[in-house]
């Protein structure tokens, strides 16, 4: 949700900032801008649209300077236009600010400053911060970095900001409270960004700024000066190494990141299991949970909080953990959980599932659980992310950077980790016979190969996508473990193709949605062989009886179901509990191909952002 980049050093800042913004475009892409500083004073260029539009706009403009900040926006306050694009300037145009997050008290601050003669050029909350820094600097007569700190003490809300000042042309100031910020330390240069992806090609040494901290970054200084926003007390930075490989940030011959990430899944699922599952003995080791595992194994209930695709992985976690380990699981939308005054008992176990580890609602839900005395655990993909750091224990999914906004490989990696947790708990709790656990461990180990086979449905999915691309509405039906798969399939289709799609439990069809079935309505039925297969056949018949079109995902060899459907895609046979891994693959492929056929911006669908750091 908005990407921030900043640079201070000896090189020209502009190309580095633009390169960084391209990497962060997944976070928002309705406008982009840069502010460049140095000898020639502050220059701000910003434009509605994508980073490419900004580049066209600045052609022939003076983009020199060895310090600068940049932004790619996902609008919260104010429509996405040139005026509301970041960076924003202070009243005297001496300070430029980029911001990711929401300033909750911006109206009060704005009215107060307006009464003292400030005029504002945008509708954004961010511009208020730029003005406030100038206000504090003039009133208190303090240097620019201290003015930023004092101004932020007056700000209520969530933010990551980067600011530069014409009066202090070698200094970049960044701060975070609730939104991520990473500082890359190079040779005589620093590159800051909302995540490590723009930094990785320049340096592997990074500092993940802690919540409530700010950094004063001076060209030539050996390290950034890190201090608490509250009291200004400095502390030494914890320097870490970036873990992921640069190749993971390239499309590597695929047309889109979404396509690449779908096809990467045999590898990413294997990576999620690596060193954790021993299929010969059935043993599961989850190092990140080991300190708390004894307590967790005695849990009476586990609560899972998540949003979007991660929420659907959570529902699969519920099926897996209840069925395999016999522990009661509740899954909640993080956005609801945080506001519905949930009953949280001291010692409860609350898992947050989040690809980015930054989703504001999920983070807030986990904080609420912690305050109530629960053990907060994380299942995250991004190493060092806020949720990973704010939970007492957890498991990384190790899917590698996911760039496509619509989540694919992160989902299957989350389900892998949940399967591992279910197996680990089951062994400890002796909820299933040893031989059955061993069989399930072997079956889980076979998932990457089965997913590779499921990816061979590519051409069949491409053909089916032609049909679906003509439709206005599609239902996705599933039952048992295939119900969350249907939900995820519908979400994927609407995210990337903008076709209206709804996931529904097949058994609920007759309680309302069936009223919509006629010859213009199509239903994608996730119908592989499971214990509820007969029931799904019943649902297919009900749709057909009302002349609806049926597209079915079936198990290889199940000619009966395939014959009932207008079109079908056959996936490999696997134990029922792990069917979701293979059943979701054609649904991801279908959504991808529909989006391509309709000419959609597959990796950056309209109105979405990969990391939703606002409520
Ligand atoms: C956004 C993304 C979704 C994602 C959801 C939760 O809505 O567009 O793809 O599933 O956030 O994100 P998280 O990073 O917490 O898994």
| Same domain, residue pair 403 and 511 | no
From the number of C-beta atoms within 10 Å of its C-beta (0-12, 13-18, 19+), residue 320 rates as buried
From the number of C-beta atoms within 10 Å of its C-beta (0-12, 13-18, 19+), residue 435 rates as exposed
Give me the residues paired with residue 240 across strands: 206
- Ligand 1 pocket mutation pick from 26, 332, 610 by most atoms within 8 angstroms of CB: 610
Phi and psi dihedrals of 56, rounded to 5?
A: -65, -40
| Same domain, residue pair 235 and 288 | no
CATH code: domain of residue 45: 3.60.20.10
- Gap between the Cα atoms of 458 and 468, Å rounded: 15
- Ligand 1 pocket mutation pick from 304, 309, 357 by most atoms within 8 angstroms of CB: 309
Residue 375 lies in a domain: yes
Regions of the chain short of the pLDDT cut 70: 1
Residue 101 lies in a domain: yes
pLDDT of residue 189: 96
| Same domain, residue pair 421 and 540 | no
- Gap between the Cα atoms of 297 and 569, Å rounded: 39
Where a domain ends, among 445, 468, 483? 445
pLDDT of residue 1: 67
Counting every residue written for the chain, the total comes to 615
pTM: 0.84
| Same domain, residue pair 149 and 173 | yes
CB atoms within 10 A of CB 253: 7
- Gap between the Cα atoms of 455 and 468, Å rounded: 19
Q: Taking the C-alpha atoms of 446, 450, 451 and 456 in order, what is their torsion angle to the nearest 10 degrees?
A: 160
| Same domain, residue pair 171 and 285 | no
Residue 536 lies in a domain: yes
- Gap between the Cα atoms of 383 and 48, Å rounded: 32
Nearest CA to ligand 1 atom 4: 308
Report how far Cα 260 is from the mean position of its chain's Cα atoms.
Answer: 17
pLDDT of residue 28: 80
Residue 609 lies in a domain: no
Catalytic residue among 2, 219, 307, 380: 2
Residue 6 lies in a domain: yes
| Helix, coil or strand: residue 337 | helix
| Same domain, residue pair 348 and 463 | no
CB atoms within 10 A of CB 243: 13
Pocket of ligand 1 (CB under 6 A): 307-310, 354-356, 359, 362, 405-407, 608, 610-612
Give me the residues paired with residue 6 across strands: 69, 192
- Ligand 1 pocket mutation pick from 195, 257, 310, 314 by most atoms within 8 angstroms of CB: 310
* CB neighbour list of residue 459: distance below 8 Å, 6 or more residues apart: none
Of 531, 179, 530, nearest to 357 (Cα)?
Answer: 179
Antiparallel, parallel or unpaired: β 549-555 and 349-354: unpaired
Q: What is the pLDDT of residues 481-500, one digit of tens each?
A: 999 999 999 999 999 999 99
| Same domain, residue pair 434 and 478 | no
pLDDT of residue 449: 97
Determine whether 610 is an active site residue. Answer: yes
End-to-end CA distance of the chain: 11
Instruction: Look up tokens 């260029």; give the residue.
Output: 45
Q: Taking the C-alpha atoms of 549, 554, 560 and 566 in order, what is their torsion angle to the nearest 10 degrees?
A: 20
Domain that holds residue 371: 250-445
Nearest CA to ligand 1 atom 2: 610
pLDDT of residue 362: 96
Phi and psi dihedrals of 434, rounded to 5?
A: -50, -45
| Residue 307 CA, closest ligand 1 atom number | 6
State how many domains the chain has: 3
- Gap between the Cα atoms of 347 and 96, Å rounded: 46
CATH code: domain of residue 485: 3.40.50.10490
- Gap between the Cα atoms of 427 and 411, Å rounded: 25
The conformational region for residue 480 under phi > 0 = left, psi -120 to 50 = alpha, else beta, is: left
Determine whether 482 is an active site residue. Answer: no
Q: Are 284 and 614 in contact (CB under 8 A)?
A: no
pLDDT of residue 615: 72
- Gap between the Cα atoms of 261 and 79, Å rounded: 32
| Same domain, residue pair 265 and 369 | yes
């Amino acid at each position: 949700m908005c990407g921030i980049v900043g640079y201070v050093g000896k090189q020209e800042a502009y190309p580095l900032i633009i390169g960084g913004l391209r990497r962060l475009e997944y976070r928002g892409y309705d406008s982009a801008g840069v502010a460049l500083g140095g000898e020639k004073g502050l220059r701000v260029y910003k434009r509605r649209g994508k980073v490419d539009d900004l580049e066209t706009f600045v052609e022939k403009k003076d983009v020199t300077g060895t310090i600068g900040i940049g932004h790619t926006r996902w609008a919260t306050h104010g429509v996405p236009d040139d005026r509301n694009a970041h960076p924003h300037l202070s009243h005297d145009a001496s300070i430029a600010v980029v911001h990711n997050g929401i300033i909750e008290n911006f109206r009060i601050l704005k009215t107060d400053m307006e009464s003292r003669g400030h005029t504002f050029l945008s509708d954004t909350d961010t511009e208020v911060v730029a003005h406030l820094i100038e206000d504090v600097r003039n009133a208190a007569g303090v240097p620019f970095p201290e003015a930023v700190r004092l101004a932020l003490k007056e700000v209520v809300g969530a933010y990551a900001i980067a600011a530069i000042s014409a009066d202090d042309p070698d200094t970049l100031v960044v701060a975070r409270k609730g939104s991520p910020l990473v500082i890359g330390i190079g040779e005589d240069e620093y590159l800051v960004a909302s995540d490590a992806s723009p930094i990785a090609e320049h340096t592997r040494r990074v500092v993940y700024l802690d919540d409530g901290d700010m950094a004063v970054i001076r060209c030539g200084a050996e390290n950034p000066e890190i201090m608490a926003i509250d009291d200004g007390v400095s502390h030494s930075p914890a320097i870490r190494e970036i873990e992921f490989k640069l190749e993971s940030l390239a499309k590597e011959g695929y047309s889109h990141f979404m396509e690449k990430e779908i096809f990467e899944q045999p590898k990413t699922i294997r990576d999620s299991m690596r060193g954790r599952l021993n299929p010969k003995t059935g043993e599961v080791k989850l190092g990140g949970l080991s300190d708390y595992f004894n307590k967790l194994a005695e849990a009476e209930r586990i609560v899972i909080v998540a949003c979007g695709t991660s929420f659907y992985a959570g529902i699969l976690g519920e099926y897996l953990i209840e069925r395999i380990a016999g522990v009661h699981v509740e899954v909640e939308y993080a956005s609801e959980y945080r506001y519905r005054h949930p009953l949280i008992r001291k010692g409860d176990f609350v898992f947050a599932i989040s690809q980015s580890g930054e989703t504001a609602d999920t983070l807030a839900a986990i904080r609420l659980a912690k305050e109530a005395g629960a053990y907060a655990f994380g299942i995250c993909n991004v190493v060092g992310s806020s949720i990973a750091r704010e939970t007492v224990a957890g498991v990384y999914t190790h899917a590698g950077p996911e760039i496509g906004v619509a989540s694919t490989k992160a989902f299957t990696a989350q389900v892998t980790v949940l399967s591992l947790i279910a197996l680990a708990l089951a062994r400890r709790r002796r909820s299933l016979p040893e031989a059955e656990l061993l069989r399930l461990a072997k079956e889980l180990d076979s998932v990457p190969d089965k997913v590779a086979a499921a990816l061979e449905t590519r051409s069949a999915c491409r053909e089916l996508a032609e049909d679906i691309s003509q439709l206005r509405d599609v239902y996705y039906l599933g039952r048992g473990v295939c119900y969350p798969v249907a939900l995820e399939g519908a979400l994927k289709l609407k995210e990337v193709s903008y076709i209206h799609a709804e996931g529904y439990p097949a058994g609920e069809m007759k309680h309302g949605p069936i009223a919509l079935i006629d010859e213009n309505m199509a239903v994608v039925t996730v119908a592989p062989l499971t214990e509820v297969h007969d029931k799904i056949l019943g649902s297919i018949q009900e749709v057909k009886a009302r002349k609806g079109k049926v597209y079915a995902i079936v198990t290889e060899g199940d000619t009966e179901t395939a014959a009932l459907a207008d079109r079908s895609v056959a996936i490999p046979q696997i134990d029922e509990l792990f069917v979701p891994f293979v059943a979701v693959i054609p649904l991801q492929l279908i959504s991808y191909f529909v989006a391509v056929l309709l000419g959609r911006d597959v990796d950056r669908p309209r109105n979405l952002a990969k990391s939703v750091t606002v409520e």
